[in-house]
Chains A and B, each alone.
Chain A
Amino acid sequence: QKEVEQDPGPLSVPEGAIVSLNCTYSNSAFQYFMWYRQYSRKGPELLMYTYSSGNKEDGRFTAQVDKSSKYISLFIRDSQPSDSATYLCAMKEGSNYKLTFGKGTLLTVNP
């Protein structure tokens, strides 16, 4: 079983739609969960950082972690064309930064 699984998409939505992106994982030692956004020919950029289970909201973005199900989600409200990018989930066990990434989901928001 792969450590982190993420549907690669592609996902295409109209502007204003609510987008739901998800990852599942198998390693129960993961405690820190992140979502990165990656534009074409750029490095990953951190969007959301959460510790353990629960929700975190930042503007139009909400991250959810359900450790009992080993499932994390990123919701984007009122999606904009500028949100078009690849979204990567990433996880780590402790205070180090040896991140384990999902494969990324390519999102296109159409005007």
Chain B
Amino acid sequence: EPEVTQTPSHQVTQMGQEVILRCVPISNHLYFYWYRQILGQKVEFLVSFYNNEISEKSEIFDDQFSVERPDGSNFTLKIRSTKLEDSAMYFCASRSGSSNEKLFFGSGTQLSVL
């Protein structure tokens, strides 16, 4: 089965530093998402992206966050100035665009902010 690929699997950074989390969605997919899961808490929606623009974002997704599809295959999440509370597992997901179909999640990037 096709896979969403995320790199790196684990990222450690110092508070205040910028990080970029990378995702390669499934090749014919059109809709892209970032979710995150703080340890011991629920998986939370961050942002959805379609046709090179954000279609919806949550209250968590403030000005410190941005997303980009820099080329035809990558989808990135940037955190400009990381805070301790940004430590979480970040999941990228994608889907093809037909109605009510499966959302494919990647294995996640564990971000640790020290």
Q: Scan residues 92-114 of chain B and give those whose CB is less than 8 A from a CB of chain A.
A: 93, 95, 99-100, 102-103, 105-108
A60 lies within 8 A of chain B by Cβ: no
**For A90, what are the chain B residues with a Cβ–Cβ distance below 8 Å?**
43
B100 touching A32 by the CB < 8 A rule? Answer: yes
Interface centre among A43, A96, A102 (most CB of B within 10 A): A43
Q: Scan residues 17-40 of chain B and give those whose CB is less than 8 A from a CB of chain A.
A: 31, 33, 35
A43 touching B91 by the CB < 8 A rule? Answer: yes
Summarize B's interface: helix, strand, loop or mixed.
strand
A95 lies within 8 A of chain B by Cβ: yes
Q: How many residues of B are in contact with the other chain, CB < 8 A?
A: 24
B55 lies within 8 A of chain A by Cβ: yes
If A43-B4, A43-B91 touch, whether A99 touches B103 (CB-CB below 8 Å) is: yes
Summarize A's interface: helix, strand, loop or mixed.
loop
B100 touching A101 by the CB < 8 A rule? Answer: no
Chain A: CB-nearest residue to B6: A43
Stretch at the interface among A9-17, A44-52, A61-69, A70-78: A44-52
Enumerate chain B interface residues (CB-CB to A < 8 A).
4, 31, 33, 35, 41-45, 48, 55-56, 58, 91, 93, 95, 99-100, 102-103, 105-108
